[in-house]
Chain A
Amino acid sequence: MSVVEFRDVQFRIGDRTILNGLNLAIEAGETLVLLGRSGSGKTTALRLINGMIMPTSGDVCVDGKTTAEWDRVQLRRGIGYVIQEGGLFPHFTIERNIGLIPRLEKWPEGKIAERVTTLLNSVNLPAADFAKRLPRELSGGQRQRVGVARALAADPKILLFDEPFGALDPVTRLDLQREFLRLRSELGKTSVFVTHDVQEAMKLSTRIALLHEGNLAFIGTPQEFEGSQHPEARAFLDVLHSAIEMGARRAQ
């Protein structure tokens, strides 16, 4: 059974259609990248999964229950969410940021501390150095790592990434992309990742879903994406190829 399923999902704001009858199934363990230009509806699709917004019509099912049937708080506690700059709470130490959901879920303190240490180490931020600091004392890349650690805190089945690396410099971004791939192979969580960066999509995804003006233009593996004839897919592939050409020219 699919972990997340969009069934004929429409989302409108007033008379503007953001998503126009989206059908999509996300399987356990895969990394589905939602690719598209700004305004294509990709972030809207992501926010429908954890019930931040509700479909105008159609259903979004998570673990076989529609988001309308789910208790929103319970649904969200089971889904990790990572956004640009991490969205960390500026007045909480790193430790409290990561331990928040376990604390709200009333884990014993010892277990929370242990979990925080494990997570910080797993995102390559030694707990001894970082646990007591405030977010503003960290670099953008470090904050983003904390954001990932926080999303993993209560061991959710699903992880949502909303352009998490968009605000980072290219070097840090590459670093975090590698980290993402490493964590994925270690944890094997179902992930949905929103980006407008086609290179990032090719690198990180097991499948790409290309959204164009609220419609699903393409869905398939990165290899299949390369062969797609859809005009919007070709437009993104042009970007990719020009980057590759530039690399090749420099190599000569």
Chain B
Amino acid sequence: MLSDVLQDLLDEGVGLLGEHLVLVFSAILIASAIAIPAGLLLTQHPRARSWALGIASVGQTIPSLALFGFLIPIPFIGGIGQHTAIIALVLYALLPILRNTVTGILGVDPIVRDSAVAMGMTRAQILRMIELPLAAPTIIAGLRIATVTTIGTATIAAAIGAGGLGVFIFRGIASVDKLQILAGAIPAALLALAADGALGWVEKRWSAR
């Protein structure tokens, strides 16, 4: 009897885990594609930098459930479902990646940058061969924070019909079923730990070079 329940949870859980991973991967991929180039640009423009980081910080203070709610009535980007959830998750993931990209690049020793310029390296060569490799551990640390928090936040996406492990949690809360809540919460927590460990390893490997 109990094993039947577990079997059902497991069958459904695999699908939900897949949806969860899709949400997280798409959000991190899109957020990186925006935040890393934007961060590189911002290192060149000090005034725009404080504005952009300020706006991104404010964005992060909006409670996630409210943000999902706000997005639903907006035409094209809003509505019920996965894409709305991904947009919200992207907004949350932007700040850590953006901030760490800026910090990482600005943290490159000015003497090192200076000697690269003095040796006759072009702007693009300096970025590719000097600044990006030296900033990489910091940028990866930003990705790590963004990924771990996104895995957690993505559970709320179920509230707007985006699926994922949150489906178990919301259903469990609604039906006062602890087993269902745990079936959503535990895999989400393990996923976050795994992502944290894996990206931490990459970060360390890179710093050791």
Q: Say yes or no: A76-B111 contact (C-beta < 8 A), given A89-B130, A90-B134, A91-B133.
A: no
Q: Report A52-85 CB contacts with B as 1/0, cut-off 8 Å.
A: 1000000000000000000011111111010111
Q: Which residue of the partner chain, among A72, A84, A86, A89, contacts B116 with CB atoms under 8 Å?
A: A89
A217 shortest CB reach to chain B, Å: 27
B129 shortest CB reach to chain A, Å: 8
Interface set, chain B 93-147, CB cutoff 8 A to A: 109, 111-112, 114-122, 125, 129-130, 133-134
User: B116 to A81, Cβ gap below 8 A?
Assistant: no
Q: Which of A74, A83, A89 is packed against the most chain B CB atoms within 10 Å?
A: A89
Interface size class of B (residues with CB under 8 A): 10 to 19
Q: Which residues of A contact B111 (CB under 8 A)?
A: 83-85, 87
Q: Which residues of B contact A73 (CB under 8 A)?
A: 120-122
Q: Which residue of the partner chain, among B109, B117, B122, B129, contacts A52 with CB atoms under 8 Å?
A: B117
Task: Tell me the bound Cα distance from A75 to B120 in angstroms.
Answer: 7
Nearest B residue to A84, CB-CB: B111
User: B112 to A87, Cβ gap below 8 A?
Assistant: yes
Task: Tell me the bound Cα distance from A83 to B121 in angstroms.
Answer: 16
Q: Which residues of B contact A74 (CB under 8 A)?
A: 120
Nearest B residue to A105, CB-CB: B120
Task: Tell me the bound Cα distance from A101 to B121 in angstroms.
Answer: 8
User: B122 to A81, Cβ gap below 8 A?
Assistant: no
- How many A-B residue pairs have C-beta atoms within 8 angstroms? Tell me: 54
B47 within 8 A of A: no
B209 within 8 A of A: yes
Task: Tell me the bound Cα distance from A150 to B112 in angstroms.
Answer: 13
User: B118 to A104, Cβ gap below 8 A?
Assistant: no
A3 within 8 A of B: no
Task: Tell me the bound Cα distance from A150 to B133 in angstroms.
Answer: 20
User: A83 to B114, Cβ gap below 8 A?
Assistant: yes
B153 shortest CB reach to chain A, Å: 34
Q: Which residues of A contact B116 (CB under 8 A)?
A: 89
Nearest B residue to A50, CB-CB: B118
Task: Tell me the bound Cα distance from A198 to B71 in angstroms.
Answer: 69
Q: Report B65-79 CB contacts with A as 1/0, cut-off 8 Å.
A: 000000000000000
Q: Report A124-160 CB contacts with B as 1/0, cut-off 8 Å.
A: 0000000000000000000000000010000000001
Task: Tell me the bound Cα distance from A93 to B117 in angstroms.
Answer: 19
User: B114 to A100, Cβ gap below 8 A?
Assistant: no
User: B119 to A90, Cβ gap below 8 A?
Assistant: no
User: A81 to B119, Cβ gap below 8 A?
Assistant: yes
Nearest A residue to B123, CB-CB: A73
User: A76 to B122, Cβ gap below 8 A?
Assistant: no
Q: Say yes or no: A76-B209 contact (C-beta < 8 A), given A83-B111, A85-B111, A91-B134.
A: no
Q: Which residues of B contact A79 (CB under 8 A)?
A: 118
Task: Tell me the bound Cα distance from A85 to B110 in angstroms.
Answer: 12
Task: Tell me the bound Cα distance from A129 to B117 in angstroms.
Answer: 29
Task: Tell me the bound Cα distance from A145 to B197 in angstroms.
Answer: 40
A86 shortest CB reach to chain B, Å: 8
A209 shortest CB reach to chain B, Å: 21
Task: Tell me the bound Cα distance from A84 to B148 in angstroms.
Answer: 41
B128 shortest CB reach to chain A, Å: 12
User: A76 to B112, Cβ gap below 8 A?
Assistant: no
Q: Which residue of the partner chain, among B109, B115, B125, B134, contacts A81 with CB atoms under 8 Å?
A: B115
User: B112 to A104, Cβ gap below 8 A?
Assistant: no
User: B115 to A104, Cβ gap below 8 A?
Assistant: no
Task: Tell me the bound Cα distance from A88 to B209 in angstroms.
Answer: 15
A50-B118, A73-B121, A90-B109 known; 13 new pairs, CB 8 Å cut-off, are: A52-B114, A75-B120, A77-B119, A77-B120, A83-B111, A84-B111, A87-B111, A87-B114, A87-B118, A89-B130, A90-B134, A104-B125, A150-B119
A selection of 13 A-B contacts at a CB cut-off of 8 Å is: A50-B118, A79-B118, A83-B111, A86-B115, A87-B112, A87-B114, A87-B115, A88-B112, A88-B115, A89-B112, A89-B116, A100-B119, A101-B119
Closest 4 CB pairs of A and B: A87-B115, A76-B120, A77-B120, A81-B118
